[in-house]
């Protein structure tokens, strides 16, 4: 019995004239050869998560679920959040991670920020070295429709703090409420 997990690529050699080779589907899946309880002994494929629900900060890959699980230690029953990544001038930090949450969590803002800054191993060092800053935004519950919500949006341009050709800064202005 063997179980493996990874990103799913498809190859269609049976389409001889136009095969698709190593097409990335965008899903992380688990494949197991362990026999099913029903007696079926062919390998089974199980969906784990979408790869676009992960993101990279300063070379470290983070998962949406890691952030959700950590915030749930304070929030308790948080089932959905939206993460938006954008550039900041290097003097303020490399990336702004804005997290949209239901407004019922607004009273917990300080505790939620502490979780992001100090309790998620991958984010702790990035925050301490000024590579990421956090901003929480609270919205009415009905704006969180799980069917249409994009869990991670990356708006970074990966531009430095260099002035553009017209002499203006290429990075956005300092953002109020950034921690």
- pLDDT tens track of the chain, all 179 residues? 888 888 888 888 888 888 888 877 777 788 998 888 888 889 888 887 776 678 888 878 888 888 999 999 999 888 888 999 998 876 665 899 999 999 999 999 999 999 999 999 989 999 998 889 999 999 886 666 655 667 888 888 764 444 444 444 444 444 555 65
pLDDT of residue 92: 60
- Distance, in Å, from the CA atom of 109 to the CA atom of 103, rounded to the nearest integer, reads 10
Residue found under tokens 């983070």:
62
Name the β-bridge partners of 154: 85
Give the C-alpha distances (Å, rounded to integers) separating 107 from 9, 57, 67, 110, 145: 44, 28, 19, 8, 22
pTM over 0.75: no
pLDDT of residue 73: 94
pLDDT of residue 96: 92
Pairing of strands 132-139, 95-102: parallel
């Amino acid at each position: 019995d063997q179980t493996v997990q990874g990103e799913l690529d498809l190859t269609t050699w049976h389409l001889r004239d136009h095969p698709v080779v190593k097409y990335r589907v965008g899903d992380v899946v688990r494949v197991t050869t362990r026999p099913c309880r029903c007696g079926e002994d062919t390998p089974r494929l199980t969906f784990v998560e979408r790869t676009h629900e992960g993101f990279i900060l300063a070379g470290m890959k983070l998962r949406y679920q890691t952030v959700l699980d950590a915030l749930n230690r304070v929030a308790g029953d948080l089932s959905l959040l939206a993460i938006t990544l954008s550039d900041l001038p290097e003097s303020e930090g490399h990336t702004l991670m804005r997290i949209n949450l239901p407004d019922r969590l607004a009273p917990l803002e300080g505790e939620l920020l502490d979780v992001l800054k100090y309790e998620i191993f991958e984010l702790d060092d990035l925050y301490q070295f000024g590579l990421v800053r956090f901003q929480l935004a609270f919205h009415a519950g009905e704006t969180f429709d799980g069917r249409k919500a994009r869990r991670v949006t990356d708006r970074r341009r990966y531009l430095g703090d260099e002035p553009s050709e017209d002499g203006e800064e290429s990075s956005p202005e300092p953002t109020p409420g950034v921690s």
